[in-house]
Amino acid sequence: MNTCRLAFLSVAASFSLLAAPHALFDGKTLEHWEGNTNVWRVENGLLIGGDGKTAFKNNEFLASREEFGDFDLHLKFRLEGTEGFVNSGVQFRSQRVPHDPEMVGYQADIGDGWYGCLYDESRRNTVLARPSDDVLKAALHPLGQWNDYEVRCEGRHIIIRLNGKVTVDYVEADTKIPTTGHLGLQVHGGGKTRVSFKDIEIESIPAK
């Protein structure tokens, strides 16, 4: 095998390694995460926040220890609860607020009236993009059933898919907004919420 061919295969192998999906939850531990273990736990192979009986005063977040830039994130979630503001979300390109359980950054929202939305948590505090009623109706599985979320970030382009259907296709116009940050899982304050996550995987998108 000639030197050029060997070098090409070496680069290709490195590229494949970098782009391979990376599991962020092993079903047994919170190895890749940090947060309040009175709120977050592993149970029967699931990552669970809240107990459906306690309404927390503030939002509670489980944050990834690692930061990510351009990526494809895949996970499954199940939201349960009937009392108060039952809501959750998946943070990305986000940061912890010092001395506070809150996180700042983008959120793929979870909850009645919020599913499939892109929310700007504790920064602009507004919905940046939301799906039409028809798209959401076709995509969403009922409360208590498993749903799939995919979040793709590439540069300032953000796409959110709920059960395979695009609910958000958004390009950030503000060049001051960071394009890297932590992931986070939320239990929203004010509701007796239990939210479960599984099959959490992230795949880096190599720079063009």
Please check whether residue 71 is in contact with residue 56, taking contact to mean a CB–CB distance below 8 angstroms: no
Give the pLDDT of residue 10: 43
Give the confidence band of 2 by pLDDT, cuts at 50, 70, 90: low
Q: Is residue 23 pLDDT above 90, yes or no?
A: yes
Question: Is residue 6 included in any domain, yes or no?
Answer: no
Residue for token pair 């009392």: 83
Give the confidence band of 19 by pLDDT, cuts at 50, 70, 90: low
pLDDT tens-digit map of 115-174: 999 999 999 999 999 999 999 999 999 999 999 999 999 999 999 999 999 999 999 999
pLDDT tens-digit map of 56-113: 999 999 999 999 999 999 999 999 999 999 999 999 999 999 988 899 999 999 999 9
Q: Is residue 17 pLDDT above 60, yes or no?
A: no
CATH number, domain at 93?
2.60.120.560
Average pLDDT over every residue of 25-53? 97
Which letter, b or e, does each residue of 86-105 get, where b requires 16 or more Cβ atoms within 10 Å of its Cβ?
bbbbbbbbbbbeeeebbbbb
**Of 18, 22, 13, 8, nearest in space to 183 by CA:** 22
What domain range includes position 95? 22-204
Adjacent-strand bridge partners of 42: 47
Question: Is residue 9 included in any domain, yes or no?
Answer: no
Give the pLDDT of residue 99: 87
Adjacent-strand bridge partners of 61: 186
Please check whether residue 131 is in contact with residue 116, taking contact to mean a CB–CB distance below 8 angstroms: yes
pLDDT tens-digit map of 178-194: 999 999 999 999 999 99
Give the confidence band of 208 by pLDDT, cuts at 50, 70, 90: confident
User: Total domain count for the chain?
Assistant: 1
pTM, to two decimals: 0.90
Residue 160 CA to residue 174 CA, distance in Å, equals 19
Give the confidence band of 207 by pLDDT, cuts at 50, 70, 90: confident
Question: Is residue 2 included in any domain, yes or no?
Answer: no
Contacting residues for 59 by C-beta, under 8 A, at least 6 apart: 101, 102, 103, 186, 187, 188, 189
Q: Is residue 13 pLDDT above 60, yes or no?
A: no
Question: Is residue 17 included in any domain, yes or no?
Answer: no
Question: Is residue 49 included in any domain, yes or no?
Answer: yes
Question: Is residue 33 included in any domain, yes or no?
Answer: yes
- Output phi, psi for 177, to 5 deg: -75, 125
